[in-house]
Structure 1
Amino acid sequence: MFFYILLFLSISSLWWYWKARDGRKVANLTGKYIFITGCDTGFGNMAAKTFDKKGFRVLASCLTETGAKELQAATSNQLQTVLLDVRDSNSIKKAAAWIKAEVQSEGLWGLVNNAGIMGPTAPTDWLDIEHFREPIEVNLIGLINVTINMLPLIKQAKGRIVNVSSTGGRLAFCGGGYCPSKFGIEGFNDSLRRDMKAFGVKVSCIQPGLFKTPLTDLAKIRKEKEIIWNRLSLDTKKQYGEEYFQKDAAKKEKLSKACLNTDVSLVVECMEHALTSLHPRTHYVVGQDAKWFWTPLSRMPADVQDFLLLRNREKPAVSHRK
């Protein structure tokens, strides 16, 4: 009995120590510069508004002029926007030069690599290389390119880098370029974190589950997939069966709706912790679906993963003929 009491007290002490350590904040962050990519909508848009209210000097990149104007109208005069296409190296270099002129000798305290797209999600044999190229260019190559250009300013401030990945970087739940791009982010994030330790720069990765943002617009995803389906050869359609598209789309949408998180602020809270905590976590798993389904499933044997994921897909016609 004494052993169990001692074990309970030890675990309780460790838990309280972790909570106290986790809650400690960096002092004097008001007025520090933070650069956030992908602020037109979604996580980035809310993060820019939130950090502006908290007194950070937010430098927010938007892809469109409309997005930039709407964000400026909803925030203080301290927040500044810049147009940035992360697929374009010249655009990144111009943004980096502008940021360098803004922060001057202070450096850049925070970089939040948030910009990303879903791209078409469909079975691999429906796709061509261009379907893979765009999400990988935006989500992975663009993120790396932005980071490389901002690193001197981050090192100068001994600041923070926050990379937004996905549970799709732990478990490939769909075909297309999205999951490969997120798996790539995980690899880049880990190597970057180790490279930057000597310079006092801390690197964190956020792994959201499915959240209600323009990225997860089910109608848009279904339309993109339908366009690809309609362009398939007759042989491929015969392999899958004429009813495959409709039945599979219905199953995927049912699963997505069951997993969908609506409170986007949960992701922004993780960004804030990564930017302000004395001891930021290396990884943040966000969303009930991520915590209780996708992340645990990613640690299970491949046979278990395949069984559970394939249950939520329509079987091609060829599998019925075996």
Structure 2
Amino acid sequence: MASAVFLITGCSSGFGYEMAKAALRRGFKVIATARRIETLKPLEELGAIALPLDVAAPPATLVSFAKQAWEVYGQVDYLVNNAGYVQGGAIEENTPEETLSQFNTNVFGVLNLTNAFLPYMRERRSGTIVNISSQGGSLNLVGAGIYCASKAAIDSFSDTWSRELAEFNVKCISIQPGAFRTPVSNSSNFRRGSNVIATYAAATEGIVGFNSGTGKERGDPAKGALRIVDFVTQAKGKLPLRWALGEDSFVNLRKVHESRIVEMDEFKEWSVGTDYDDYVPNTSVGTGAWSI
């Protein structure tokens, strides 16, 4: 496994930077990417290959990039979609342009780049897509609705990719980190919606709390990054669809899922009883059939 190749997006700082270092430390080959290639110099000095990449580039550009990257080592075993940023503010406070920009990077960037690499992985019948999502994708935090929606989309894409790509022996996982001490809120990786509406007190309070917690987060990104590299390379059998990373993420997501089951049961009588009286379930339909 020592010859496996990681391609990681968003390596200029934070999780991307730490994952690149962790993969190199474990003896893997690393292709590190960022919009500004000069930020990757420290990783190059550690042995990584550095390539410039803007994940929000047009799909045709990403197809060309995938060909270039694949030819570096003749393979990419782990495509780590990490690049992204946080768009803050109440949903109404974000302009259509700001919302589109968030989805262009956090969602369509992941979708288009992954689609650019999938033909190679399908032909090789090998590979793993590692999508860095967030606990926010399930928590739906007040003051970060646009960001959380983008991560929920990644969770959904990942779930489907995992099932669609199984026949090609290509795996996919969505990783949902909790709060890690990365330079998010004090950098360009955090942007506030420009249409500020003073009466959104809860959203503003959420942003203030997020910013005030910078540098005090409980999660160590170096430990989290190493855990990601070890988990995706050492996990036996299939990977989980979604994986909570960090004590806070595990606790918070478990509470969310448990509360949703309680809520479903509470309103069960309103959910059921809508079938045709003569409906008979078709038990002969294969597991791949739609149920919508």
Same fold, judged at TM 0.5 (above): yes
User: What is the RMSD of the two structures over their aligned residues, measured on CA atoms?
Assistant: 2.9
Is the counterpart of residue 270 in structure 1 residue 239 in structure 2?
no
Corresponding residue to 1:96 among 48, 57, 66: 66
Change (3 A) 1:259 1:207: farther
Please report the TM-score for the alignment, with normalisation by the length of structure 1: 0.71
Q: Which amino acid aligns with 2:176?
A: Q
Q: Which structure's residues are more often helix, by fraction?
A: 1
Deviations 1:184-233 (A, max 9, x none): 00110011000111111121111101111122439985xx54x83xx64x
1:158 partner letter: S
> Partner residue of 1:108?
76
Counterpart of 1:183, as a letter, is: A
Q: Any idea what the Cα deviations from partners look like across 1:100-150, whole Å, max 9, x if unmatched?
A: 32233xx3211111111112x111222211221122111110001111111
Quote the Cα distance in structure 2 between the aligned partners of 1:57 and 1:220: 27
Name the amino acid aligned to 1:285. A
2:24 maps to 52
Does 2:189 match 1:217? no
Distance 1:218 1:58 in 2: 25
| Counterpart in the other structure of 1:147 | 114
* Structure 2 residue corresponding to 1:164, chosen from 132, 142, 155: 132
The verdict on how the C-alpha distance between 1:259 and 1:188 changes in structure 2, with shifts beyond 3 A counting, is farther
By how many angstroms is 1:182 displaced?
0.4
SS at the partner of 2:99?
Answer: helix
| Overall identity of the aligned pairs, in % | 25
Question: Which runs of 5 or more residues in structure 2 are unaligned?
Answer: 264-292
Name the SS for the 2:259 alignment partner: coil
Q: 1:88 to 1:303 in 2, by over 3 A?
A: same
Shift in Å, 1:245: 8.4
Matched, 1:190 2:190: no
Aligned-pair CA distance for 1:301: 4.3
CA distance change for structure 1 residues 285 and 267 in 2, over 3 Å: closer, same or farther? Answer: farther
User: How many angstroms does 1:64 deviate by?
Assistant: 0.7
For 2:259, which of 300, 306, 314 is the aligned residue? Answer: 300
Number of positions where the alignment pairs a residue of Structure 1 with one of Structure 2: 258
Q: Which runs of 5+ in 1 are unaligned?
A: 1-28, 305-322
CA contact (8 A) 2:125 2:168 kept: no
Conserved in 1, the CA contact under 8 Å of 2:90 and 2:200? no
Query: Hey, what does 2:175 align to over in structure 1?
Result: 206
Question: Is 2:94 the partner of 1:127?
Answer: yes
So what's the TM-score if we normalise by structure 2?
0.78
Q: CA deviation at 1:47?
A: 1.0
